[in-house]
């Protein structure tokens, strides 16, 4: 005599197998994610040990501009945070002002993920970002601009990256992949201009 499982028994088996599969799937992810994190940290530490980035690419000395848009520039001291960042940055970092605007000039000697979009830096400092847009300015160069606000303070920020051949980038990720793939050659100059509103 042939016996068949009752619909209730079949449903219980289906749901218990599904439950077991979900538990196994989540357990596997729980085991793999820490390994990915450890690998990422190990890679970052290996890439940023003293002399690791600078030994592969010779440091390029850059003369800072003395004028910006016709106005004389004077150097500004880097903050403690900027000094710590510059210590590991594969290039140079300088801050200057014309008395109204602040110009941050970073010279980059090799492709790096340490060159962040200015919007990310401002968000990290607690600013709210809005009015992001691309624009062609008086110098006929394309810039990425936005407004950053925190409390009662607002600043208009524009940025761009230029390579050694004069090719410009308004997107850090596009610059990174072009530089890694050999479509753009350095040293690169990343300019960020902040104007109080």
Task: Evaluate whether residue 53 is within a structural domain.
Answer: no
Tokens matching residue 130: 């809005």
Tokens matching residue 48: 């940023």
Cα–Cα distance between 89 and 115 in angstroms, integer?
8
Same domain for 87 and 164, yes or no, is yes
Q: Which residues contact 143 (CB under 8 A, 6 or more apart)?
A: 134, 135, 136, 137, 158, 159, 160, 170
More confident residue, 57 or 156: 156
**Residue 38's pLDDT is what?**
43
Which domain does 19 fall in, by range?
1-47
Look at the chain and report how many structural domains it folds into.
2
Same domain for 101 and 122, yes or no, is yes
Are the C-beta atoms of residues 114 and 188 closer than 8 Å to each other?
no
Cα–Cα distance between 62 and 51 in angstroms, integer?
20
Same domain for 41 and 93, yes or no, is no
Instruction: Report the pLDDT averaged over residues 66-86.
Output: 83
Same domain for 11 and 70, yes or no, is no
pLDDT tens-digit series, residues 121-160:
899 889 999 999 999 987 788 999 999 999 999 999 999 9
Question: What SS3 state is found at 69?
Answer: coil
Task: Evaluate whether residue 70 is within a structural domain.
Answer: yes
Secondary element (H or E) of residue 89: none
Task: Evaluate whether residue 116 is within a structural domain.
Answer: yes
Instruction: Report the pLDDT averaged over residues 75-86.
Output: 84
Cα–Cα distance between 152 and 132 in angstroms, integer?
19
Cα–Cα distance between 105 and 83 in angstroms, integer?
14
**Residue 8's pLDDT is what?**
57
Same domain for 16 and 113, yes or no, is no
**DSSP secondary-structure letter at 35?**
H
Instruction: Report the pLDDT averaged over residues 78-83.
Output: 82
Tokens matching residue 162: 């230029």
**Residue 39's pLDDT is what?**
44
Give the residue from 163, 167, 156, 100 showing the smallest Cα distance to 133. 156
Same domain for 64 and 108, yes or no, is yes
Instruction: Report the pLDDT averaged over residues 182-189.
Output: 92
**Residue 33's pLDDT is what?**
47
More confident residue, 65 or 162: 162
pLDDT tens-digit series, residues 1-51:
555 555 555 555 555 666 666 665 555 445 544 544 444 444 444 444 444
Cα–Cα distance between 55 and 47 in angstroms, integer?
11
Task: Evaluate whether residue 52 is within a structural domain.
Answer: no
Task: Evaluate whether residue 7 is within a structural domain.
Answer: yes
Instruction: Report the pLDDT averaged over residues 100-105.
Output: 91
Are the C-beta atoms of residues 158 and 136 closer than 8 Å to each other?
no
Are the C-beta atoms of residues 56 and 110 closer than 8 Å to each other?
yes
Range with lowest mean pLDDT among 55-64, 106-115, 178-187: 55-64
Percent of the chain with pLDDT over 90: 40
Query: Before 75, cis peptide (omega within 30)?
Result: no
Same domain for 96 and 19, yes or no, is no
């Amino acid at each position: 005599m042939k016996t068949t499982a009752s619909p209730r028994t079949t449903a219980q088996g289906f749901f218990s197998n599904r439950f077991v599969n979900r538990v196994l799937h989540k357990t596997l992810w729980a085991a793999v994610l820490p390994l990915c994190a450890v690998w990422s940290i190990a890679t970052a530490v290996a890439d940023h040990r003293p002399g690791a980035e600078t030994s592969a690419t010779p440091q390029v000395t850059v003369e800072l501009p003395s004028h910006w848009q016709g106005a004389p520039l004077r150097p500004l001291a880097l903050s403690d945070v900027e000094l710590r960042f510059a210590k590991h940055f594969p290039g140079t970092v300088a801050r200057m002002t014309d008395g109204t605007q602040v110009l941050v000039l970073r010279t980059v000697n090799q492709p790096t993920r340490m060159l962040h979009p200015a919007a990310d830096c401002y968000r990290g400092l607690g600013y709210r970002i809005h009015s992001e847009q691309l624009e062609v300015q008086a110098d006929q160069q394309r810039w990425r601009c936005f407004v950053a606000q925190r409390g009662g303070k607002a600043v208009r920020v524009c940025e761009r990256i230029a390579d050694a051949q004069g090719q410009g980038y308004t997107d850090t990720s596009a610059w990174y992949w072009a530089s890694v793939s050999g479509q753009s050659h350095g040293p690169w100059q990343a300019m960020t201009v902040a104007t109080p509103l």
